[in-house]
Chains A and B, each alone.
Chain A
């Protein structure tokens, strides 16, 4: 291997709190008409002041605890300054020097991915460009401005695109299981920016020193695109290194149409955010008893690993089936809800019905099991159909018939399978086998 890939992942998660991070406006903006959930605070009007959302702080700590972080009992918000039309105050209230959570980790395929920080900040408004309205202008919707955002940053411990995807999937599941966010990349409640550096493998093996360049990639909105972006960067940076050129430290934009990253307009110097402690919000002093309480709360929540175990142990599901139900939380929730009333229905069969979407997952138990019984009931097939099917199979498969007569039992299984294919599997197999054998005997 000539090159090694070093990846750090920065993830933003929108918390599903009732109200925004610093004001009482509703935090649930998806699908609402533009600028209908705003107030002087989240619009950044003169004189407006931020008041922190306690629930958001608690949920951030919960995420930090689930990621094995240390919690900073003394923490504070800071102002991060930059100008952009969707940032009404000209600064974002965020955290810098003293984030709520630090130094955690997540195990991904037995590899420890260290978490540098989990901190809390506010989201910006949304810029919409006019093409959607047959218009050349750009519009800003501030419904999203001020929604609580948790930022989770890893150390550069991720080594490959698949590993990055695995980390993100695990992180997403944990956060969904904590019930603090729907953590959905398509809805924008989860966003990811990978930072990628490709280095010479041998020199990395020698001294493990991080290079002085890393490429940040923005504009990614699915796990698949994360992998594609990383793959592209691996190639692009390797090509540069092949030519003895050092990749430039920069921010690039991912283009899904081309499956490539492209350079964004370069800045001459790094952005100076002029961080300083937010004077409008007194420092947070978290009570140790609060942390204890949140830890206790965490124990009562089934995280993905615990659900997986439960599905296998308590319900006897195979690891593959249990994994599918774990990785789709809603599906798993429905399974657990329904399995209590399943009576004589086989637990694995129930899982398969849900996984294969044979019946709507969100039905109440009575309706669900009525439909299930119907679907799984043995089909009443009349004798004529049986006879016709068997005759046809015998005629269509002379070789198999010949093999059977020579004593090959596997040929019988084959013929049986052919019959089942036509008749559908929901029939009494033994009965069919009996008939088949009879017919074959007659045909001698």
Chain B
């Protein structure tokens, strides 16, 4: 069981040294990356140097390797958002979350593959080719944090940073069988995260163990003066939550099982029984059908995307706008349309109004229950090429996650088993700033099931 704390312990007792660990890691990454394509850029030289020169082993992440999704600006390290337009972009600054990781001693291994500009749920729309699923190299890892999810699933390393707009952490976490935590919108600073949906984007950790996600969240969370949308609410003690062992009332909504593969529902029911055994009780609640969130999310996200991509004009950095892929162009056109004169009221404005209805719907639900559980995705990992069959692929894959994302709610994916060799995920989400409850419940489930024992065949023990 390799957790951050165990690794740190092994460093402190001199059982292991980060230099040896990290050089071994790079060796394995270089061996497997050709077939996985999880990494776009490796930070080998600097990482080894940092590992060799490490003195202060007391920092919370001293010598801990971490993979970074390629939409976080890392100073002097190429950042592409998996888009050819940014092929040669080297940021002159670190995102706030990157700075926090570095300040805490973390060692950045490299930048991971994603759907270009985070536009997707497959990583297949990357301008650098798809990442493959460690459980089946003919299948997709999900997206847009596919590279990070695949890296964590393979143990290369078992800690990564991803981002979620609506599903981009939790869905690939589900397809790759890892823990993926999306915080409350505003809990973690977005400064330095290449913007996709400004009112939705959230940085978050992908790990194999709940305690690692809790530890990372505790270090990343907090008000940032460079992000006007970051919350000033104090950061909770997520490590303490790991031991709280509270009993919760868990909401379950029939609508969240519509269109879900029966095999996934089976796994979910098994997990439900385990949670009941642990002393949590389930309550049926009525939520707005998640299918309505698809068009809502599509409009809001596309509108914000069309605006956020305007700065890529090729004047100050990057390639010309003609470098945008089909997917990006489609999204920009649709987004611009929903903001245009004569259509703004009917689309964007209306979508924002319905957003309020969804927010209120969840508020009401959380008066009756503490947290809500549901399957994370309607299907398990699809084959390479399948994402191209449907222009709304991403939105359909994320339909069980969009509503809570639109409302800014925090949530987690837990791997609950395999179906025909492919990971199945369960999601827990809660009201604003309920990360401690989510982490508490997730840890109880992990302790009971030891789900981290499920690994792909090429798993690397760090």
- Which residues of A lie under 8 Å from residue B194 when comparing CB positions? 46-47
The reply to whether A47 and B73 form a contact with Cβ atoms under 8 Å apart is yes
- Which residues of A lie under 8 Å from residue B344 when comparing CB positions? 274-276
B195 to chain A, nearest CB (A): 7
User: What 0/1 readout, one digit per residue, does chain A (262-284) give for beta carbons within 8 Å of chain B?
Assistant: 00000000001011100111100
- Measured in the bound complex, the distance between the Cα atoms of B311 and A85 in whole Å is 10
- Measured in the bound complex, the distance between the Cα atoms of B167 and A8 in whole Å is 50
Within 8 A of A (CB), among B344-384: 344, 348
The reply to whether B91 and A45 form a contact with Cβ atoms under 8 Å apart is yes
- Measured in the bound complex, the distance between the Cα atoms of B226 and A47 in whole Å is 11
Task: Say whether B393 faces chain A, with CB atoms less than 8 Å apart.
Answer: no
The reply to whether B191 and A88 form a contact with Cβ atoms under 8 Å apart is no
Task: Say whether A91 faces chain B, with CB atoms less than 8 Å apart.
Answer: yes
Given A45-B317, A88-B316, also A272-B310 (CB < 8 A):
no
The reply to whether B311 and A46 form a contact with Cβ atoms under 8 Å apart is yes
Given A45-B317, A48-B191, also A282-B228 (CB < 8 A):
yes
- Which residues of B lie under 8 Å from residue A280 when comparing CB positions? 195, 198, 228-229
Task: Say whether A130 faces chain B, with CB atoms less than 8 Å apart.
Answer: no
The reply to whether A46 and B86 form a contact with Cβ atoms under 8 Å apart is yes
- Of A41, A52, A85, A280, most buried by chain B (CB within 10 Å of CB) is A280
- Which residues of A lie under 8 Å from residue B340 when comparing CB positions? 272, 274
User: What 0/1 readout, one digit per residue, does chain B (195-229) give for beta carbons within 8 Å of chain A?
Assistant: 10011000000000000000000000000011111
B181 to chain A, nearest CB (A): 21
- Of A41, A90, A140, most buried by chain B (CB within 10 Å of CB) is A90
The reply to whether A40 and B92 form a contact with Cβ atoms under 8 Å apart is yes
The reply to whether B79 and A46 form a contact with Cβ atoms under 8 Å apart is yes
The reply to whether A40 and B93 form a contact with Cβ atoms under 8 Å apart is yes
Given A40-B92, A279-B199, also A49-B336 (CB < 8 A):
no
User: What 0/1 readout, one digit per residue, does chain B (67-97) give for beta carbons within 8 Å of chain A?
Assistant: 0000011000001010000100101110100
Task: Say whether A43 faces chain B, with CB atoms less than 8 Å apart.
Answer: yes
The answer, among A44, A276, A282, for a CB contact under 8 Å with B311, is A44
- Which residues of A lie under 8 Å from residue B316 when comparing CB positions? 43-45, 88
- Measured in the bound complex, the distance between the Cα atoms of B203 and A49 in whole Å is 15
Task: Say whether A20 faces chain B, with CB atoms less than 8 Å apart.
Answer: no
Given A140-B315, A274-B340, also A49-B227 (CB < 8 A):
yes
Task: Say whether A83 faces chain B, with CB atoms less than 8 Å apart.
Answer: yes
The reply to whether B91 and A46 form a contact with Cβ atoms under 8 Å apart is yes
Residue of B nearest to A274 (CB): B339
- Which residues of B lie under 8 Å from residue A52 when comparing CB positions? 228
Residue of B nearest to A84 (CB): B313
Within 8 A of A (CB), among B175-207: 190-195, 198-199
The reply to whether A49 and B228 form a contact with Cβ atoms under 8 Å apart is yes
The answer, among A44, A89, A276, A281, for a CB contact under 8 Å with B228, is A281
User: What 0/1 readout, one digit per residue, does chain A (36-57) give for beta carbons within 8 Å of chain B?
Assistant: 0000110111111111100000
Task: Say whether B304 faces chain A, with CB atoms less than 8 Å apart.
Answer: yes
The answer, among B92, B198, B313, B336, for a CB contact under 8 Å with A274, is B336
The answer, among B195, B198, B199, B227, for a CB contact under 8 Å with A51, is B227
The answer, among A44, A51, A79, A276, for a CB contact under 8 Å with B226, is A51
A141 to chain B, nearest CB (A): 12
- Which residues of B lie under 8 Å from residue A46 when comparing CB positions? 73, 79, 81, 86, 89, 91, 194-195, 311-312
Interface residues on B, range: 35 or more
Q: Kindly count the residue-residue contacts between A and B in the assembled complex, taking CB atoms under 8 Å apart.
A: 101
Within 8 A of B (CB), among A1-52: 40-41, 43-52
Task: Say whether B303 faces chain A, with CB atoms less than 8 Å apart.
Answer: yes
The reply to whether B225 and A274 form a contact with Cβ atoms under 8 Å apart is no
The reply to whether B304 and A279 form a contact with Cβ atoms under 8 Å apart is yes
Task: Say whether B341 faces chain A, with CB atoms less than 8 Å apart.
Answer: yes
Residue of B nearest to A270 (CB): B341
Within 8 A of A (CB), among B38-89: 72-73, 79, 81, 86, 89
Given A272-B341, A279-B304, A280-B229, also A49-B310 (CB < 8 A):
no
A92 to chain B, nearest CB (A): 11
- Measured in the bound complex, the distance between the Cα atoms of B315 and A44 in whole Å is 11
- Measured in the bound complex, the distance between the Cα atoms of B192 and A199 in whole Å is 53
- Measured in the bound complex, the distance between the Cα atoms of B91 and A304 in whole Å is 49
- Measured in the bound complex, the distance between the Cα atoms of B199 and A282 in whole Å is 10
The reply to whether A276 and B79 form a contact with Cβ atoms under 8 Å apart is no
Task: Say whether B23 faces chain A, with CB atoms less than 8 Å apart.
Answer: no
The reply to whether A90 and B192 form a contact with Cβ atoms under 8 Å apart is no
Task: Say whether A347 faces chain B, with CB atoms less than 8 Å apart.
Answer: no
A76 to chain B, nearest CB (A): 12
- Which residues of B lie under 8 Å from residue A43 when comparing CB positions? 316
Task: Say whether B307 faces chain A, with CB atoms less than 8 Å apart.
Answer: yes
- Which residues of A lie under 8 Å from residue B229 when comparing CB positions? 49, 279-282
- Measured in the bound complex, the distance between the Cα atoms of B196 and A280 in whole Å is 12
- Measured in the bound complex, the distance between the Cα atoms of B339 and A45 in whole Å is 23
The reply to whether A83 and B228 form a contact with Cβ atoms under 8 Å apart is no
Task: Say whether A126 faces chain B, with CB atoms less than 8 Å apart.
Answer: no
Given A46-B91, A279-B198, also A85-B228 (CB < 8 A):
no
Within 8 A of B (CB), among A153-210: none
The answer, among B95, B190, B226, B315, for a CB contact under 8 Å with A85, is B315
- Measured in the bound complex, the distance between the Cα atoms of B230 and A281 in whole Å is 10
B79 to chain A, nearest CB (A): 7
Given A46-B79, A46-B89, A280-B228, also A89-B303 (CB < 8 A):
no
Q: A45-B91, A45-B317 are in contact. List 13 more A-B contacts (CB 8 A).
A: A41-B226, A44-B316, A45-B73, A45-B311, A47-B192, A49-B190, A49-B227, A49-B228, A81-B310, A90-B309, A140-B315, A274-B306, A279-B199
Interface residues of B (CB under 8 A from A): 72-73, 79, 81, 86, 89, 91-93, 95, 190-195, 198-199, 225-229, 303-304, 306-307, 309-313, 315-317, 336, 339-341, 344, 348
Task: Kindly list the 3 A-B residue pairs having the minimum CB-CB distance in the complex, ordered from nearest.
Answer: A90-B310, A279-B198, A274-B339
Show 20 residue pairs from A and B whose CB-CB distance is below 8 angstroms, ordered by the A residue. Answer: A45-B311, A46-B194, A46-B195, A47-B73, A47-B95, A47-B192, A47-B194, A48-B191, A49-B191, A79-B307, A81-B339, A85-B315, A88-B311, A90-B307, A90-B311, A90-B313, A274-B340, A276-B303, A280-B228, A282-B229
